[in-house]
Amino acid sequence: MNLRILALAAALALPAASDEGLWLFNLFPKDKVKEAYSIDLPDRFADDLRLSSLSLGSGSASGAFVSAHGLLVTDHHVVADCLAKLGLLKDGYYAADQAAERKCPNFEARELVGIEEVTRQVKETGGKEPAKDSKAAAEVLDKRNSRIAQIERDCAAKSGRLCQVVKLYSGARYDLYQYQVYSDLRLVFAPEQAIAFFGGTPESLTYPRYDLDVAFLRAYVENRPADTPHFLKWSEDSIRENDPVFAVGNPVGTARANTVAELTFLRDTAIPASLTRLQRRIEDLRTFAYKNPENARLALISLADLSTVYKLTAGKMIGLEDDLLLARKLNFERKLRAAVTHDPKLGATAAKVWDEVAAAFKAWAPNERAYQVLEAPAAQGSQLFRAARELLRQAPGATQVVAAPTALDPAVETVLLTRYLEELRSLGEKEAPLKAILGSKTPQQAAQEVIKNTRLGDAAERRRLAADRDLVERSEDPLLRLVRELDSAARKISKKRDESIGALETSSSERIAQYRYAIFGPADYPDATGTPRLAFGTVKGYLDRTQAPVPFATTYGGLYYLASKLPPHVLPERWSAGKPAVGETIPLDFASTCDVTGGPSGGPVVTAKGELVGVTFDGNLESIGNSFLYSDDQARAVHVSARGIVEALSRLYGARRLLDELGVALPPATSPSAP
């Protein structure tokens, strides 16, 4: 391959933003940081930050150790489920001593302690070169998946750790991650929900923000605080505009390496179907919640979860509808394709891979809605349906709902299952076994009967079934019968997807990724995979769509200015009463150009010295389009200020024990009117 020609053509179209990058810890570009900020980072900077950082829960949330005794910081909303189960969501909690630290049920932290490239091992059984047709590609995919599972099993048996093979660069590279797991996490501090989520849902995914979205937990091992020698020093300095900062997170899947044909499919088919399904569920739950206060309480968490997914999905749609974004992608793709065409070792035949991708997505598009309904995400929002499918399929690693100690609410589940059965009915008998599922009943009647008679709402019953696969197969539980009836149709359409667009990862898409990887290698970061990444940027404000300036930081003074007696701007009583003690100029939240799109919650933000200056809790709406192409014009990550956290802990909560462990001196009193 004539890499000089390819590199020249591709470089002309690459985004120029210096802060772009969802970087791997083992391939972090120190030279790029030096070029951008004239900073010489220590050789162990990335490794030290990796070993201090954590992945939390079952999703892509993050956190970081901040003391040698297992103390860790994350976001309030990351531990919201724990707080709800402990009855502490509304009023928050502070453990005055170690004995008062309360265990979070079924919640874990994972520390990435080892990374090893295993590309050769993965591909030696599954084919080293991309497959040439869809059938062969599907066979390669099956072999690779089997090999990956074996590598993970061997690693776990040898190390005693959680092992995960991560696919990078669309399959051009595979790395094996080893995690140290902390399964005993206890709550140390969380503020009231009203201040952690100040402004509520209407102001989520916006900026400026005024949230103390933070919480502290402690990791325990054998009933004692964990020894954690790798931790971040808490900075006592306030952030300033244009300060370089480094952010860790677990960004969920981005699509920056996707072709224009793939992005067009998302814009025209997949995302509209997802938005419609989410919107109907949200409407159903709101109707249910409006009936009485008890319904509103029951629907709160499900409604918040679905609303968040909806906003994130809608943000992606906004990005895809940006003509400039697609024009930039198309420009890059044309130049890369032209370079391949004119390369004597590749030529026009190799360049046809883009046509193969386009043809595959065009052929698959009519099946997308049925796939979403039958297989992924299927009965979105229904925890009972998810538990039933996990029990039936014995999905490895997907046991959080099955093992959850709390009962799952039947009223909310009935609403969500009714909507799902409506979707199945709209597919028709050709796609789904409606006669076996509904009989002569309406979706609402069938849902009420299933939820009324299932025993899967009981945690003990879920655990009993999980312990014996034969019990699941023989069970006459109506919800298990439902998922069994659907399983054949769901697996059929899933197989069809694997043989069409799913197989692209081992055929056309992989060849495109190999062209890019051959050009740029480690200089090009891979798309996000929901696993730990490191980004860098600067603390920075911006001009909004009306060209009005948006400040780089918000202050306590701004918070108190917005406070009112009406939700969602009602302050907790301690905050109202404590106003005279708080410095109005102290930064509460701040924005940066760090590339942490989609899933940054709870990740630490540090200086070049490795000192913690913030905790990421969100991005603005403009940042969601970064899933497809990075821009720092208006897109910003949003963080809680470490200095602002200290102000609250010292002035409002009297959290002396916590401040001592952080190694933070009690800040001097600040006059509210201080400059």
pLDDT in tens, 30-57: 999 999 999 999 999 999 999 999 999 8
Is pLDDT at 285 greater than 90 in this prediction? yes
Query: Cα–Cα–Cα angle for 303, 396, 393, nearest 5°?
Result: 80
3-state helix, strand, coil in the chain (%, to 5): 50, 15, 35
Spell out the alpha helix ranges (H) of 475-528. 478-499, 508-520
**Do residues 616 and 605 lie in contact, with contact meaning Cβ atoms separated by under 8 Å?**
yes
Closest of 248, 233, 410, 260 to residue 326, by C-alpha: 260
Cα 344 → chain centroid? 42
Is pLDDT at 363 greater than 60 in this prediction? yes
What local confidence, expressed as pLDDT, does residue 5 receive? 39
- The token duo for 253 is 């899947």
CA quadruple 466, 467, 469, 472: dihedral sign: negative
8-state DSSP, 266:
I
User: What confidence tier does 517 reach under pLDDT thresholds 50, 70, 90?
Assistant: confident
User: What confidence tier does 134 reach under pLDDT thresholds 50, 70, 90?
Assistant: low
Is pLDDT at 668 greater than 80 in this prediction? no
| pLDDT (mean) for 478-489 | 97
Q: How far apart, in whole angstroms, are the C-alpha atoms of residue 332 and residue 338?
A: 10
- Beta bridge pairs of residue 221: 224
Give the three-state DSSP class for 93: strand
Q: How far apart, in whole angstroms, are the C-alpha atoms of residue 563 and residue 566?
A: 8
**Do residues 255 and 627 lie in contact, with contact meaning Cβ atoms separated by under 8 Å?**
yes
**Do residues 543 and 550 lie in contact, with contact meaning Cβ atoms separated by under 8 Å?**
yes
pLDDT in tens, 539-576: 999 998 889 999 999 999 999 999 999 989 999 999 99
The predicted model scores a pTM of 0.79
Q: How far apart, in whole angstroms, are the C-alpha atoms of residue 195 and residue 32?
A: 38
Q: How far apart, in whole angstroms, are the C-alpha atoms of residue 342 and residue 592?
A: 41
Q: How far apart, in whole angstroms, are the C-alpha atoms of residue 510 and residue 119?
A: 13
Alpha-carbon separation of residue 209 from 89, 247, 530, 583, 597 (angstroms): 20, 19, 25, 18, 17
Spell out the alpha helix ranges (H) of 367-507. 368-374, 383-393, 400-403, 410-427, 434-438, 443-453, 459-466, 469-474, 478-499
User: Which residue carries 């590309």 as its tokens?
Assistant: 119
pLDDT in tens, 609-659: 999 999 999 999 888 888 888 888 889 999 999 999 999 999 999 999 999
What local confidence, expressed as pLDDT, does residue 402 receive? 72
pLDDT in tens, 143-173: 899 999 999 999 999 999 999 999 998 788 9
- Beta bridge pairs of residue 590: 553, 639
- The amino acid sitting at 80 is A
Task: Compare 51 and 17 and report the one with higher pLDDT.
Answer: 51
- The token duo for 596 is 């942490």
What local confidence, expressed as pLDDT, does residue 17 receive? 56
CB atoms < 10 A from the CB of 240, how many?
A: 12
- The amino acid sitting at 288 is F
Is pLDDT at 493 greater than 90 in this prediction? yes
Q: How far apart, in whole angstroms, are the C-alpha atoms of residue 615 and residue 470?
A: 46
